[in-house]
Chain A
């Protein structure tokens, strides 16, 4: 099996498989949970004054991408290839037109396949937010996600995942679950936005420590849990390939975690919780493209390489001065590139049903195909995202005003604060409700008002 997406889409005659459908229903829910998980993973890493904004950039992406995807995105990504050149789908299924509950993609309902793919688009958009933490206007982010989904995610998903996409059907690069579509794509787009917005005020001068590491660990745990749906779900069936992808995912997450911790211990003196969470994520990013094409030794090495490599890559932003705040480049781009390219080394025909990597006697053939896929998706994502970001910045302004950034985006953008700090800010002392439109309303500190509230 060269590509499960292509193979299943080409399968005939189509017949619904209950087992495959049941698994993909579950996998879809698992992948969706990754985005709230990512929100917590990112939220814990920013400072207290902008944590709600960080969470909101992920949560609003769920809603925005869902609407855009179901109306326009799905048909452009997975509709019949327009013109047969492998660049974009046609508009036949605009608004899911013509797709009924009995429509099948492979052995599962097309409605399910479309929703499964939707959850990938959601998390890819949400991942980018880590590069612009603490300084993006919320309205600008909303516009960016809408435009980016159609202009960047949809074509790249078509190239790699759709049966007629050029990377899939002409280049024959392997990407099981989205090393290019999700990881390289979000990483390169994140780098572009980090450059458009510029560094946070105080970058490289002030300590911008994570405000809540337990939140980061909770987020990493949810990502880990959901990643089984992401990778094993990409087998698009309840079968041996799904099992192999699941096992490879676990193996690479663990060697990624250990690789990062070991590097930290030797280099900095301590094994950190943030390092453990980051290492597991790096390992899973790297195994995402390769979990369907390598065996266990390959998965163990790929995870380890990603963990060690990314623990160094996250410091590049300080050296080169781009403020990729939460290391979308350092983790997702770097591990995504490593995992996709290493398929050319570790792929085995036992898993792929055809192509072998360098170590299994396949020579350099698969390796260059992988490299081209990475370069093409990375360059397109970077260029297009940079253009979209610049355009939004020119039209409505992408960066929050300095005083909002300094006082925190939670209050400025959302009129909320995440935490009560100390006794003075709690309960009735914190203030009293303002009743909009109440002409006789008393002052903000009216004691009468607080006495009328029976209990809090």
Chain B
């Protein structure tokens, strides 16, 4: 099993969800997140005082998949989330040791 995590632009969430649905992903977790990468936030001005806002709003998606599906799921996210501009985000995967479905107690790939 692999845990795929994506941090993307919030307005891309709907497209990514649709794309994941098309590659057979049946469940995901979405969290509101803040952060910055190479684009380094933006500036705001209040009564003439300029503030540098480093942390910009992002959405973090987590999907648990079987090893064989990992590449296609990552591709789907990358394609759907891309605008081609700085700040599009990152996608990464890590191996997962074990997983349990809370309702049934099923373990491993059955729990995905």
Contacts and interface: CB of A to CB of B under 8 A. Distances in A.
Interface stretch (A49-57, A105-113, A270-278, A341-349): A270-278
B47 A327 contact: yes
Interface in A47-79: none
Contacts of A268: 45, 48, 50
Interface stretch (A183-191, A311-319, A363-371): A311-319
B48 A315 contact: yes
Contacts of A311: 47-48
B49 interface: yes
Interface string A350-370: 000000000000000000000
16 contacts: A207-B44, A207-B51, A207-B53, A209-B51, A264-B48, A267-B48, A268-B48, A268-B50, A269-B45, A275-B47, A311-B47, A311-B48, A314-B47, A314-B49, A315-B47, A315-B48
B46 A315 contact: no
A269 B48 CA distance: 10
Interface residues of B, number: 10
A209 B47 contact: no
B38 interface: no
B85 interface: no
A210 interface: yes
A1 B69 CA distance: 87
Given A270-B45, A272-B45, A274-B47, 7 more contacts: A207-B52, A209-B46, A264-B45, A264-B48, A268-B45, A274-B46, A311-B48
Contacts of B49: 314-315, 318
A305 to B, nearest CB: 17
A269 B50 CA distance: 11
B48 A209 contact: no
Contacts of B45: 264, 268-270, 272
A268 B45 CA distance: 8
A209 B44 contact: yes
A309 to B, nearest CB: 13
Interface residues of A, number: 19
Interface in B46-81: 46-53
**Dominant secondary structure of chain B at its interface with chain A:** strand
Contacts of B46: 209-210, 272, 274
Nearest to B47: A314
Contacts of A210: 46
Contacts of B52: 207
The 7 closest A-B pairs by CB, nearest first: A207-B51, A314-B47, A268-B45, A315-B48, A274-B46, A209-B46, A209-B51
Interface string B13-50: 00000000000000000000000000000001111111
A312 B46 CA distance: 12
B6 to A, nearest CB: 21
A84 B50 CA distance: 53
Contacts of A275: 47
Contact of A314 (B44, B48, B53): B48
Nearest to B54: A207
User: Of residues B45, B50, B52, which shows the largest number of chain A Cβ atoms within 10 Å of its Cβ?
Assistant: B45
Nearest to A268: B45
A278 B47 contact: yes
A212 to B, nearest CB: 12
Nearest to A270: B45
Nearest to A263: B48
A278 B46 CA distance: 11
Interface string A292-330: 000000000000000000011011001000000001001
User: Of residues B45, B48, B49, B53, which shows the largest number of chain A Cβ atoms within 10 Å of its Cβ?
Assistant: B48
B36 to A, nearest CB: 14
Interface string A253-283: 0000000000010011110101100100000
A152 B48 CA distance: 32
A128 B72 CA distance: 62
Contacts of A272: 45-46
